[in-house]
Amino acid sequence: MTVMVVALIGVAATSFPITVLSAALPDIAADLGTSNATITWVISAPLLAFAVFTPMAGKLGDLHGHRRMYLWGFTGAAIGSLATAFAPDAATLIALRVLAQAAASSTGPSALAILMSVFPDERRTWVAGIWSGVLAASPALGVALGGPLIDATSWRVLFVIQGVGSAVAVLASLRVLPATPRRRDVTFDLPGGIALGAGVGAILFALNRSAPWGWTNPFVVAGLSVGPVLLALFVLVERRTDHPLVHLPTLRRRNVAAPIASQLFLNGPYMAGLVLTALMLSTVFDYDTTTISLTILPRPIAFAAGAWTAGAAAARFGGRTVVVSGTTLVTASLVLIGTAALTHATALVVVGVLIAGAGSGFSRPPIIAALTEAVGEADMGVGTGLLNMTGQIGAAAGISLLTAPIGDAAGGREFFVVFVVAAVVAVLAIVAAHAIAYDGPVGRPTPAAPSAPWSTALMARLRRNG
Protein backbone atom coordinates (compact mmCIF):
# COMPACT_ATOMS: atom_id res chain seq x y z
CA MET A 1 0.00 0.00 0.00
CA THR A 2 2.93 2.35 0.66
CA VAL A 3 4.09 1.75 -2.92
CA MET A 4 0.63 2.74 -4.18
CA VAL A 5 0.57 5.95 -2.16
CA VAL A 6 4.03 7.06 -3.28
CA ALA A 7 3.48 6.11 -6.94
CA LEU A 8 0.23 8.02 -7.08
CA ILE A 9 1.77 11.17 -5.62
CA GLY A 10 3.45 11.81 -8.97
CA VAL A 11 0.18 11.37 -10.83
CA ALA A 12 -1.55 13.74 -8.41
CA ALA A 13 1.19 16.37 -8.50
CA THR A 14 1.19 16.58 -12.29
CA SER A 15 -2.60 16.80 -12.60
CA PHE A 16 -3.82 18.86 -9.65
CA PRO A 17 -3.54 22.34 -11.27
CA ILE A 18 -5.72 21.55 -14.29
CA THR A 19 -9.16 22.52 -12.93
CA VAL A 20 -8.18 25.71 -11.11
CA LEU A 21 -5.83 26.66 -13.97
CA SER A 22 -8.74 26.37 -16.41
CA ALA A 23 -10.84 28.58 -14.15
CA ALA A 24 -8.04 31.15 -13.93
CA LEU A 25 -7.43 31.43 -17.69
CA PRO A 26 -9.22 34.80 -18.06
CA ASP A 27 -7.20 36.26 -15.17
CA ILE A 28 -3.94 34.89 -16.58
CA ALA A 29 -4.77 36.35 -20.00
CA ALA A 30 -5.43 39.77 -18.46
CA ASP A 31 -2.28 39.63 -16.31
CA LEU A 32 -0.03 38.72 -19.25
CA GLY A 33 -1.81 40.95 -21.77
CA THR A 34 -2.96 38.27 -24.19
CA SER A 35 -6.26 36.96 -25.64
CA ASN A 36 -8.47 34.07 -24.54
CA ALA A 37 -7.63 32.22 -27.77
CA THR A 38 -3.90 32.40 -27.01
CA ILE A 39 -4.13 31.57 -23.32
CA THR A 40 -5.97 28.28 -24.01
CA TRP A 41 -2.56 27.05 -25.19
CA VAL A 42 -1.63 26.97 -21.48
CA ILE A 43 -3.93 23.92 -21.36
CA SER A 44 -3.78 22.49 -24.89
CA ALA A 45 -0.02 22.78 -25.57
CA PRO A 46 1.01 20.81 -22.45
CA LEU A 47 -1.65 18.24 -23.31
CA LEU A 48 -0.05 17.96 -26.74
CA ALA A 49 3.41 17.48 -25.19
CA PHE A 50 2.00 14.89 -22.82
CA ALA A 51 0.35 13.10 -25.74
CA VAL A 52 3.52 13.05 -27.85
CA PHE A 53 5.93 11.90 -25.15
CA THR A 54 3.77 9.51 -23.11
CA PRO A 55 4.08 6.38 -25.32
CA MET A 56 7.83 6.98 -25.72
CA ALA A 57 8.22 7.39 -21.96
CA GLY A 58 6.16 4.25 -21.41
CA LYS A 59 8.35 2.29 -23.83
CA LEU A 60 11.52 3.59 -22.16
CA GLY A 61 10.07 2.38 -18.87
CA ASP A 62 9.43 -1.07 -20.37
CA LEU A 63 13.05 -1.20 -21.55
CA HIS A 64 15.00 0.53 -18.78
CA GLY A 65 12.77 0.21 -15.72
CA HIS A 66 9.69 2.15 -14.69
CA ARG A 67 11.15 3.26 -11.36
CA ARG A 68 13.99 5.01 -13.15
CA MET A 69 11.69 6.73 -15.65
CA TYR A 70 9.27 7.77 -12.90
CA LEU A 71 12.02 9.43 -10.87
CA TRP A 72 13.63 11.23 -13.81
CA GLY A 73 10.29 12.45 -15.11
CA PHE A 74 9.02 13.56 -11.71
CA THR A 75 12.24 15.49 -11.03
CA GLY A 76 12.00 17.29 -14.37
CA ALA A 77 8.36 18.14 -13.73
CA ALA A 78 9.22 19.63 -10.32
CA ILE A 79 11.92 21.87 -11.81
CA GLY A 80 9.65 22.90 -14.67
CA SER A 81 6.79 23.80 -12.33
CA LEU A 82 8.97 26.06 -10.20
CA ALA A 83 10.29 27.80 -13.31
CA THR A 84 6.73 28.28 -14.61
CA ALA A 85 5.87 30.36 -11.55
CA PHE A 86 8.24 33.07 -12.79
CA ALA A 87 7.12 33.20 -16.45
CA PRO A 88 7.17 36.86 -17.62
CA ASP A 89 4.83 36.49 -20.60
CA ALA A 90 2.36 34.13 -22.27
CA ALA A 91 4.92 32.57 -24.63
CA THR A 92 7.30 31.72 -21.79
CA LEU A 93 4.46 30.39 -19.65
CA ILE A 94 3.29 28.09 -22.44
CA ALA A 95 6.84 26.92 -23.22
CA LEU A 96 7.63 26.09 -19.60
CA ARG A 97 4.31 24.30 -19.18
CA VAL A 98 5.16 22.21 -22.24
CA LEU A 99 8.60 21.28 -20.88
CA ALA A 100 7.19 20.39 -17.46
CA GLN A 101 4.47 18.19 -18.93
CA ALA A 102 6.90 16.52 -21.32
CA ALA A 103 8.96 15.51 -18.30
CA ALA A 104 5.83 14.47 -16.41
CA SER A 105 4.72 12.21 -19.27
CA SER A 106 6.63 9.31 -17.72
CA THR A 107 4.90 9.49 -14.34
CA GLY A 108 1.51 8.21 -15.53
CA PRO A 109 2.49 5.04 -17.44
CA SER A 110 5.34 4.25 -15.06
CA ALA A 111 3.19 4.62 -11.94
CA LEU A 112 0.48 2.45 -13.46
CA ALA A 113 2.98 -0.18 -14.65
CA ILE A 114 4.59 -0.33 -11.19
CA LEU A 115 1.19 -0.77 -9.54
CA MET A 116 0.07 -3.42 -12.04
CA SER A 117 3.28 -5.36 -11.35
CA VAL A 118 2.83 -5.20 -7.57
CA PHE A 119 -0.86 -6.21 -7.41
CA PRO A 120 -2.34 -9.50 -8.75
CA ASP A 121 -4.28 -9.64 -12.03
CA GLU A 122 -7.69 -9.93 -10.39
CA ARG A 123 -7.21 -6.55 -8.68
CA ARG A 124 -6.28 -4.61 -11.83
CA THR A 125 -9.66 -2.93 -12.21
CA TRP A 126 -9.53 -1.89 -8.55
CA VAL A 127 -5.99 -0.52 -9.04
CA ALA A 128 -7.07 1.30 -12.20
CA GLY A 129 -10.00 2.76 -10.27
CA ILE A 130 -7.76 4.09 -7.50
CA TRP A 131 -5.32 5.45 -10.09
CA SER A 132 -8.12 7.17 -12.03
CA GLY A 133 -9.70 8.45 -8.83
CA VAL A 134 -6.48 10.08 -7.66
CA LEU A 135 -6.04 11.55 -11.13
CA ALA A 136 -9.42 13.22 -10.67
CA ALA A 137 -9.34 14.03 -6.96
CA SER A 138 -6.08 15.94 -7.23
CA PRO A 139 -7.64 18.74 -9.34
CA ALA A 140 -10.27 19.08 -6.60
CA LEU A 141 -7.43 19.67 -4.13
CA GLY A 142 -6.06 22.22 -6.58
CA VAL A 143 -9.39 24.06 -6.50
CA ALA A 144 -9.62 23.96 -2.71
CA LEU A 145 -6.09 25.28 -2.25
CA GLY A 146 -5.52 27.20 -5.45
CA GLY A 147 -8.76 29.09 -6.07
CA PRO A 148 -8.72 31.27 -2.93
CA LEU A 149 -4.92 31.63 -3.13
CA ILE A 150 -5.10 32.87 -6.72
CA ASP A 151 -7.74 35.45 -5.82
CA ALA A 152 -5.78 36.53 -2.73
CA THR A 153 -2.33 36.57 -4.35
CA SER A 154 -1.58 35.43 -7.91
CA TRP A 155 -1.97 32.45 -10.22
CA ARG A 156 1.80 31.96 -9.91
CA VAL A 157 1.48 30.54 -6.40
CA LEU A 158 -0.19 27.45 -7.88
CA PHE A 159 3.05 26.40 -9.59
CA VAL A 160 5.15 27.12 -6.51
CA ILE A 161 2.97 24.69 -4.52
CA GLN A 162 3.19 22.12 -7.30
CA GLY A 163 6.97 22.38 -7.64
CA VAL A 164 7.77 22.23 -3.92
CA GLY A 165 5.34 19.36 -3.34
CA SER A 166 6.81 17.43 -6.26
CA ALA A 167 10.36 17.87 -4.98
CA VAL A 168 9.42 16.46 -1.58
CA ALA A 169 7.64 13.52 -3.22
CA VAL A 170 10.70 12.65 -5.32
CA LEU A 171 12.68 12.09 -2.13
CA ALA A 172 10.00 9.73 -0.80
CA SER A 173 9.92 7.82 -4.10
CA LEU A 174 13.66 7.13 -3.93
CA ARG A 175 13.16 5.05 -0.79
CA VAL A 176 9.91 3.24 -1.52
CA LEU A 177 9.33 2.40 -5.19
CA PRO A 178 10.45 -1.09 -6.32
CA ALA A 179 12.49 -1.67 -9.46
CA THR A 180 10.82 -3.28 -12.48
CA PRO A 181 12.54 -5.64 -14.97
CA ARG A 182 14.81 -4.15 -17.63
CA ARG A 183 15.08 -5.51 -21.17
CA ARG A 184 18.69 -5.12 -22.23
CA ASP A 185 18.14 -7.10 -25.44
CA VAL A 186 15.75 -4.50 -26.91
CA THR A 187 16.65 -1.02 -28.17
CA PHE A 188 14.48 2.09 -28.23
CA ASP A 189 12.90 2.92 -31.59
CA LEU A 190 14.05 6.54 -31.88
CA PRO A 191 13.08 7.03 -35.58
CA GLY A 192 9.58 5.74 -34.85
CA GLY A 193 9.26 7.98 -31.81
CA ILE A 194 10.34 11.05 -33.76
CA ALA A 195 7.95 10.28 -36.64
CA LEU A 196 5.02 9.68 -34.28
CA GLY A 197 5.66 12.79 -32.19
CA ALA A 198 6.25 15.08 -35.15
CA GLY A 199 3.20 13.78 -37.02
CA VAL A 200 0.81 14.14 -34.10
CA GLY A 201 2.28 17.52 -33.19
CA ALA A 202 1.95 18.92 -36.72
CA ILE A 203 -1.70 17.92 -37.03
CA LEU A 204 -2.72 19.27 -33.63
CA PHE A 205 -0.87 22.54 -34.17
CA ALA A 206 -2.69 23.03 -37.47
CA LEU A 207 -6.07 22.27 -35.90
CA ASN A 208 -5.49 24.75 -33.10
CA ARG A 209 -4.42 27.55 -35.44
CA SER A 210 -7.11 26.93 -38.08
CA ALA A 211 -9.66 29.29 -36.48
CA PRO A 212 -7.50 32.38 -35.79
CA TRP A 213 -5.31 32.00 -38.89
CA GLY A 214 -7.75 30.39 -41.34
CA TRP A 215 -7.61 27.07 -43.14
CA THR A 216 -5.62 28.53 -46.05
CA ASN A 217 -2.80 29.85 -43.86
CA PRO A 218 0.52 28.31 -45.04
CA PHE A 219 1.39 26.96 -41.58
CA VAL A 220 -2.04 25.37 -41.17
CA VAL A 221 -1.87 23.81 -44.64
CA ALA A 222 1.67 22.59 -43.94
CA GLY A 223 0.65 20.98 -40.66
CA LEU A 224 -2.33 19.20 -42.17
CA SER A 225 -0.21 18.05 -45.12
CA VAL A 226 2.98 17.02 -43.35
CA GLY A 227 1.33 15.42 -40.30
CA PRO A 228 -0.34 12.49 -42.12
CA VAL A 229 2.84 11.90 -44.15
CA LEU A 230 4.87 11.64 -40.93
CA LEU A 231 2.33 9.24 -39.43
CA ALA A 232 2.51 7.11 -42.58
CA LEU A 233 6.29 7.18 -42.21
CA PHE A 234 5.86 6.03 -38.60
CA VAL A 235 3.87 3.01 -39.79
CA LEU A 236 6.59 2.14 -42.33
CA VAL A 237 9.30 2.45 -39.69
CA GLU A 238 7.38 0.22 -37.28
CA ARG A 239 6.92 -2.46 -39.94
CA ARG A 240 10.63 -2.57 -40.78
CA THR A 241 12.32 -2.29 -37.39
CA ASP A 242 13.19 -5.29 -35.23
CA HIS A 243 12.19 -3.48 -32.03
CA PRO A 244 9.19 -1.24 -32.83
CA LEU A 245 7.88 1.42 -30.50
CA VAL A 246 4.39 0.02 -31.14
CA HIS A 247 3.74 -3.55 -32.30
CA LEU A 248 1.19 -2.66 -35.00
CA PRO A 249 -0.73 -5.99 -35.05
CA THR A 250 -1.53 -5.38 -31.38
CA LEU A 251 -3.63 -2.37 -32.37
CA ARG A 252 -6.04 -4.65 -34.24
CA ARG A 253 -7.03 -6.52 -31.11
CA ARG A 254 -10.54 -5.66 -29.98
CA ASN A 255 -9.55 -4.87 -26.42
CA VAL A 256 -6.81 -2.55 -27.63
CA ALA A 257 -8.52 -0.75 -30.50
CA ALA A 258 -11.94 -0.33 -28.87
CA PRO A 259 -10.67 1.14 -25.56
CA ILE A 260 -8.32 3.48 -27.44
CA ALA A 261 -11.13 4.69 -29.72
CA SER A 262 -13.49 5.17 -26.79
CA GLN A 263 -10.82 7.11 -24.90
CA LEU A 264 -10.18 9.34 -27.92
CA PHE A 265 -13.81 10.32 -28.48
CA LEU A 266 -14.55 10.62 -24.75
CA ASN A 267 -11.63 12.76 -23.68
CA GLY A 268 -12.00 15.33 -26.46
CA PRO A 269 -15.50 16.53 -25.51
CA TYR A 270 -14.83 15.96 -21.80
CA MET A 271 -11.73 18.17 -21.59
CA ALA A 272 -13.09 20.74 -24.03
CA GLY A 273 -16.17 20.89 -21.83
CA LEU A 274 -13.99 21.86 -18.87
CA VAL A 275 -12.39 24.80 -20.69
CA LEU A 276 -15.69 25.84 -22.28
CA THR A 277 -17.46 25.76 -18.92
CA ALA A 278 -14.82 28.00 -17.35
CA LEU A 279 -14.97 30.46 -20.25
CA MET A 280 -18.79 30.43 -20.19
CA LEU A 281 -18.92 31.13 -16.46
CA SER A 282 -16.53 34.04 -16.94
CA THR A 283 -18.01 35.68 -20.04
CA VAL A 284 -21.72 34.79 -19.82
CA PHE A 285 -22.20 34.50 -16.04
CA ASP A 286 -19.51 37.11 -15.12
CA TYR A 287 -18.11 34.99 -12.26
CA ASP A 288 -14.71 35.55 -10.63
CA THR A 289 -12.02 32.85 -10.39
CA THR A 290 -13.04 31.53 -6.97
CA THR A 291 -16.71 31.24 -7.96
CA ILE A 292 -15.77 29.51 -11.22
CA SER A 293 -13.50 27.11 -9.35
CA LEU A 294 -16.17 26.23 -6.79
CA THR A 295 -18.78 25.75 -9.52
CA ILE A 296 -16.50 23.32 -11.38
CA LEU A 297 -15.30 21.61 -8.17
CA PRO A 298 -17.98 18.86 -8.19
CA ARG A 299 -16.59 17.56 -11.47
CA PRO A 300 -13.30 16.04 -10.22
CA ILE A 301 -14.96 14.89 -6.99
CA ALA A 302 -17.62 13.04 -9.00
CA PHE A 303 -14.89 11.64 -11.27
CA ALA A 304 -13.11 10.17 -8.25
CA ALA A 305 -16.35 8.69 -6.92
CA GLY A 306 -17.15 7.17 -10.32
CA ALA A 307 -13.66 5.70 -10.67
CA TRP A 308 -13.67 4.19 -7.19
CA THR A 309 -17.03 2.46 -7.76
CA ALA A 310 -16.28 1.28 -11.31
CA GLY A 311 -14.48 -1.88 -10.21
CA ALA A 312 -17.44 -3.22 -8.25
CA ALA A 313 -19.84 -2.24 -11.03
CA ALA A 314 -17.70 -3.97 -13.68
CA ALA A 315 -17.53 -7.12 -11.56
CA ARG A 316 -21.31 -7.21 -11.35
CA PHE A 317 -22.47 -5.92 -14.73
CA GLY A 318 -19.44 -6.31 -17.01
CA GLY A 319 -16.86 -3.79 -18.07
CA ARG A 320 -18.44 -3.01 -21.42
CA THR A 321 -21.72 -2.08 -19.75
CA VAL A 322 -19.88 0.23 -17.37
CA VAL A 323 -18.02 2.01 -20.18
CA VAL A 324 -21.19 2.44 -22.24
CA SER A 325 -23.02 3.84 -19.21
CA GLY A 326 -20.24 6.27 -18.37
CA THR A 327 -19.84 7.62 -21.89
CA THR A 328 -23.62 8.08 -22.12
CA LEU A 329 -23.56 10.17 -18.94
CA VAL A 330 -20.81 12.41 -20.34
CA THR A 331 -22.83 12.95 -23.52
CA ALA A 332 -25.92 13.96 -21.54
CA SER A 333 -23.89 16.32 -19.33
CA LEU A 334 -22.68 18.35 -22.30
CA VAL A 335 -26.26 18.97 -23.41
CA LEU A 336 -27.18 20.08 -19.87
CA ILE A 337 -24.31 22.55 -19.57
CA GLY A 338 -25.05 23.91 -23.04
CA THR A 339 -28.66 24.49 -22.00
CA ALA A 340 -27.39 26.39 -18.96
CA ALA A 341 -25.63 28.81 -21.32
CA LEU A 342 -29.04 29.78 -22.73
CA THR A 343 -30.96 29.86 -19.45
CA HIS A 344 -28.18 31.26 -17.19
CA ALA A 345 -29.06 28.52 -14.69
CA THR A 346 -26.11 27.85 -12.39
CA ALA A 347 -27.86 24.77 -11.00
CA LEU A 348 -27.79 23.17 -14.46
CA VAL A 349 -24.05 23.82 -14.68
CA VAL A 350 -23.46 22.14 -11.31
CA VAL A 351 -25.60 19.13 -12.23
CA GLY A 352 -23.88 18.95 -15.61
CA VAL A 353 -20.34 18.94 -14.22
CA LEU A 354 -21.37 16.34 -11.62
CA ILE A 355 -22.72 14.01 -14.30
CA ALA A 356 -19.71 14.63 -16.55
CA GLY A 357 -17.24 13.78 -13.82
CA ALA A 358 -19.12 10.69 -12.66
CA GLY A 359 -19.53 9.38 -16.20
CA SER A 360 -15.91 9.89 -17.18
CA GLY A 361 -14.61 8.41 -13.93
CA PHE A 362 -16.94 5.43 -14.27
CA SER A 363 -15.59 4.69 -17.77
CA ARG A 364 -11.83 4.87 -17.21
CA PRO A 365 -10.97 1.85 -14.99
CA PRO A 366 -12.58 -0.82 -17.23
CA ILE A 367 -11.03 0.87 -20.29
CA ILE A 368 -7.59 0.64 -18.66
CA ALA A 369 -8.15 -2.92 -17.42
CA ALA A 370 -9.27 -4.16 -20.83
CA LEU A 371 -6.22 -2.72 -22.57
CA THR A 372 -3.62 -3.83 -20.00
CA GLU A 373 -4.92 -7.39 -20.11
CA ALA A 374 -4.77 -7.35 -23.92
CA VAL A 375 -1.16 -6.09 -24.24
CA GLY A 376 0.45 -8.13 -21.43
CA GLU A 377 3.06 -7.14 -18.84
CA ALA A 378 6.02 -6.82 -21.24
CA ASP A 379 4.34 -3.94 -23.08
CA MET A 380 2.40 -2.48 -20.15
CA GLY A 381 4.21 0.85 -20.29
CA VAL A 382 3.83 1.51 -24.00
CA GLY A 383 0.26 0.16 -23.90
CA THR A 384 -0.87 2.51 -21.17
CA GLY A 385 1.23 5.22 -22.82
CA LEU A 386 -0.71 4.78 -26.06
CA LEU A 387 -3.97 4.97 -24.15
CA ASN A 388 -2.84 8.13 -22.39
CA MET A 389 -1.55 9.57 -25.67
CA THR A 390 -4.89 8.94 -27.34
CA GLY A 391 -6.73 10.62 -24.49
CA GLN A 392 -4.41 13.61 -24.62
CA ILE A 393 -4.70 13.87 -28.40
CA GLY A 394 -8.46 13.85 -28.01
CA ALA A 395 -8.24 16.49 -25.30
CA ALA A 396 -5.90 18.75 -27.28
CA ALA A 397 -7.93 18.39 -30.46
CA GLY A 398 -11.21 18.88 -28.59
CA ILE A 399 -10.01 22.00 -26.80
CA SER A 400 -8.49 23.42 -29.99
CA LEU A 401 -11.47 22.81 -32.28
CA LEU A 402 -14.33 23.39 -29.86
CA THR A 403 -12.97 26.55 -28.23
CA ALA A 404 -11.91 28.10 -31.56
CA PRO A 405 -15.42 29.47 -32.39
CA ILE A 406 -15.66 31.12 -28.96
CA GLY A 407 -14.49 34.72 -29.18
CA ASP A 408 -13.82 37.09 -26.31
CA ALA A 409 -17.42 38.38 -26.52
CA ALA A 410 -19.26 35.09 -27.14
CA GLY A 411 -22.79 34.80 -25.75
CA GLY A 412 -25.01 31.99 -24.53
CA ARG A 413 -26.15 30.91 -28.00
CA GLU A 414 -22.59 30.38 -29.23
CA PHE A 415 -21.73 28.30 -26.17
CA PHE A 416 -24.91 26.23 -26.56
CA VAL A 417 -24.07 25.32 -30.16
CA VAL A 418 -20.51 24.30 -29.29
CA PHE A 419 -21.66 22.14 -26.35
CA VAL A 420 -24.15 20.35 -28.61
CA VAL A 421 -21.39 19.67 -31.14
CA ALA A 422 -19.27 18.26 -28.30
CA ALA A 423 -22.13 15.96 -27.32
CA VAL A 424 -22.38 14.66 -30.88
CA VAL A 425 -18.67 13.78 -30.81
CA ALA A 426 -19.13 12.03 -27.45
CA VAL A 427 -21.70 9.72 -29.05
CA LEU A 428 -18.79 8.16 -30.96
CA ALA A 429 -17.30 7.12 -27.62
CA ILE A 430 -20.51 5.23 -26.85
CA VAL A 431 -20.30 3.48 -30.23
CA ALA A 432 -16.66 2.47 -29.65
CA ALA A 433 -17.46 1.21 -26.14
CA HIS A 434 -19.90 -1.32 -27.61
CA ALA A 435 -16.95 -3.05 -29.32
CA ILE A 436 -15.11 -3.92 -26.08
CA ALA A 437 -14.98 -7.70 -26.02
CA TYR A 438 -16.17 -8.64 -22.56
CA ASP A 439 -19.71 -8.84 -21.21
CA GLY A 440 -18.81 -10.44 -17.90
CA PRO A 441 -16.63 -9.15 -15.07
CA VAL A 442 -13.45 -7.33 -16.00
CA GLY A 443 -10.45 -9.62 -15.70
CA ARG A 444 -12.12 -12.46 -17.62
CA PRO A 445 -12.19 -11.42 -21.29
CA THR A 446 -13.84 -13.65 -23.82
CA PRO A 447 -11.55 -16.00 -25.79
CA ALA A 448 -12.06 -13.89 -28.91
CA ALA A 449 -10.72 -10.76 -27.25
CA PRO A 450 -7.07 -10.98 -28.39
CA SER A 451 -7.69 -11.48 -32.10
CA ALA A 452 -11.17 -10.52 -33.29
CA PRO A 453 -11.18 -7.23 -35.24
CA TRP A 454 -12.96 -4.62 -33.19
CA SER A 455 -14.94 -3.24 -36.14
CA THR A 456 -16.33 -6.70 -36.93
CA ALA A 457 -17.28 -7.22 -33.30
CA LEU A 458 -18.99 -3.84 -33.14
CA MET A 459 -21.12 -4.49 -36.24
CA ALA A 460 -22.11 -7.92 -34.95
CA ARG A 461 -23.15 -6.45 -31.60
CA LEU A 462 -25.15 -3.66 -33.23
CA ARG A 463 -26.96 -6.21 -35.42
CA ARG A 464 -27.86 -8.25 -32.33
CA ASN A 465 -29.16 -5.17 -30.54
CA GLY A 466 -30.97 -3.81 -33.58
Q: Tell me the pLDDT tens digit for each residue of 316-341.
A: 888 889 999 999 999 999 999 999 99
User: Is the distance from CB of 365 to CB of 176 less than 8 angstroms?
Assistant: no
Between these two residues, 116 and 232, which has the higher pLDDT value?
232
Nearest to 149 by CA among 161, 164, 138: 161
pLDDT average, residue stretch 80-89? 90
For residue 453, the 8-state DSSP code is: B
Percentage of the residues of the chain whose pLDDT score is greater than 90: 22
Residue 453 forms beta bridges with which residues? 253
Q: What is the pLDDT of residue 265?
A: 94
Nearest to 292 by CA among 101, 155, 132: 155
User: Is the distance from CB of 25 to CB of 43 less than 8 angstroms?
Assistant: yes
Half-sphere exposure of 149 (CA within 13 A, CB side): 16
* Spatial separation of the C-alpha atoms in residues 465 and 41, rounded to whole Å: 42
* Spatial separation of the C-alpha atoms in residues 61 and 13, rounded to whole Å: 20
Half-sphere exposure of 329 (CA within 13 A, CB side): 24
Rounded to 5°, the CA angle 423-210-56 comes to 80
| Collapsed DSSP state (helix, strand, coil) of residue 180 | coil
Q: Tell me the pLDDT tens digit for each residue of 434-445.
A: 988 755 554 444
User: Is the distance from CB of 337 to CB of 273 less than 8 angstroms?
Assistant: yes
User: Is the distance from CB of 323 to CB of 367 less than 8 angstroms?
Assistant: yes
Percentage of the residues of the chain whose pLDDT score is greater than 70: 84
Nearest to 349 by CA among 339, 361, 362: 339
pTM for the model stands at 0.72
pLDDT average, residue stretch 56-75? 82
Q: What is the pLDDT of residue 377?
A: 67
* Spatial separation of the C-alpha atoms in residues 425 and 430, rounded to whole Å: 10
